[in-house]
Amino acid sequence: MITVLRYGHRPGRDKRVTTHCGLVARAFGADRFVLTTRDESVLRSLQDIVDRWGGPFEVAVEENWRQYLRGFRGTRVHLTMYGIPVDEAVKRIDPSQDLLVFVGAEKVPPEVYDVCELNVAVGNQPHSEIAALAIFLDRLFGGRELEREFRGKVRVEPMERGKKLINLEGSP
Amino acid sequence: MITVLRYGHRPGRDKRVTTHCGLVARAFGADRFVLTTRDESVLRSLQDIVDRWGGPFEVAVEENWRQYLRGFRGTRVHLTMYGIPVDEAVKRIDPSQDLLVFVGAEKVPPEVYDVCELNVAVGNQPHSEIAALAIFLDRLFGGRELEREFRGKVRVEPMERGKKLINLEGSP
């Protein structure tokens, strides 16, 4: 079970970035996405995608993030450009344990670095928490997450040119 | 030479997502980031990172994107959830040619699918153009892009806990 915890979301300003984080969590194989700040528009956008494109994928809010983080049983990974290289870190993750991936915004309290078992850097350059989450999950699953099938109402038929969307509802 | 072309940016609404795309382009090994819509705040944010964290990395604007795309000499890759799998696509890219990576926003004109040599999907689920760009470049470079050194004014010293930023200016 893999949970992505999105910390430090500022409603309005971060709406799109946080929605992208949630969509990446789902598409790259996490099971749950937890916001530490309630934002109905983000929750609705993510739920709409789950309803249409399939799950299982849970979206939740935990406003007491400190208690949630401290009480989590399993491995807690904090994505930060200051951490150890992702390729080294994934080798240390015990796949039999539940995993929490802490994705921060600009300012993350120092205690997060101490509470988490691993502080993991996807490169040590400034870029994007969305990209860091995607690469982390991709390394964790060795790329196989992209082949996962979701059971939704629609699916894409990959093609060289143009778009093909298959509607699975009402089919025999 | 790898250029990332960001199409369909709406100033205001897309500021943060487009800035993340530009930062990912730089951190994951592209050489240039081209916006099709001028947005001074995005250009400034990206230039500030290049000045402080290092290059070489060029940021530019090409408002006549159609002419720019059609006139590009090299391989044009369009990132789209409707395309062929990224792992199959990267094998078809000739590394001796210049590469243009077209990163769209929500609506991309149908002609883009025809003009580009490759329509490439990073999975066929809806997620994020930022994640798609990161994974595409990561696959292209086989992960080695994360080890690249930039010559900037600062750099991170990776560590297990906390943050360490080395100031390289004024050092002997």
pTM of the model: 0.97
pLDDT tens-digit map of B39-62 = 999 999 999 999 999 999 999 999
Does residue B63 sit within a domain? yes
As given in the structure block, the two tokens for residue B139 are 């696959």
Q: Which of A13, A130, A146 sits opposite B130 (nearest CB)?
A: A130
As given in the structure block, the two tokens for residue A55 are 């799950």
As given in the structure block, the two tokens for residue A164 are 């093909």
Report the distance separating Cα A144 and Cα A12, nearest Å.
Answer: 34
Does residue A61 sit within a domain? yes
Q: Which of A121, A122, A161 sits opposite B114 (nearest CB)?
A: A161
Q: How confident is the model at residue B171 (pLDDT cuts 50, 70, 90)?
A: low
User: Which residues of chain B neighbour A89 with C-beta distances below 8 Å?
Assistant: none
Report the distance separating Cα A33 and Cα A7, nearest Å.
Answer: 11
User: Burial of A119 by CB count in 10 Å (0-12 exposed, 13-18 middle, 19+ buried)?
Assistant: buried
pLDDT tens-digit map of B83-112 = 999 999 999 999 999 999 999 987 899 999
CATH code assigned at A141: 3.40.1280.10
Report the distance separating Cα A26 and Cα A38, nearest Å.
Answer: 19
Q: Which of A114, A128, A163 sits opposite B24 (nearest CB)?
A: A128
With a cut of 90, say whether residue B65 has pLDDT above it.
Answer: yes
Counting the structural domains of chain A, the total is 1
What rounded mean pLDDT belongs to chain B? Answer: 96
Q: Which of A36, A29, A47 is nearest to A14 (CA)?
A: A36
| Whether the Cβ atoms of residue B101 and residue B136 lie closer than 8 Å to each other | yes
| Whether the Cβ atoms of residue B61 and residue B39 lie closer than 8 Å to each other | no
Query: Helix crossing, B15-27 with A129-141: angle to 10°?
Result: 50
As given in the structure block, the two tokens for residue A98 are 């539940």
Does residue B172 sit within a domain? no
CA-nearest residue to A122 within chain B is B146
Domain containing A85: what range? 2-167
pLDDT tens-digit map of B110-125 = 999 999 999 999 999 9
Report the distance separating Cα B2 and Cα B20, nearest Å.
Answer: 17
Does residue A172 sit within a domain? no
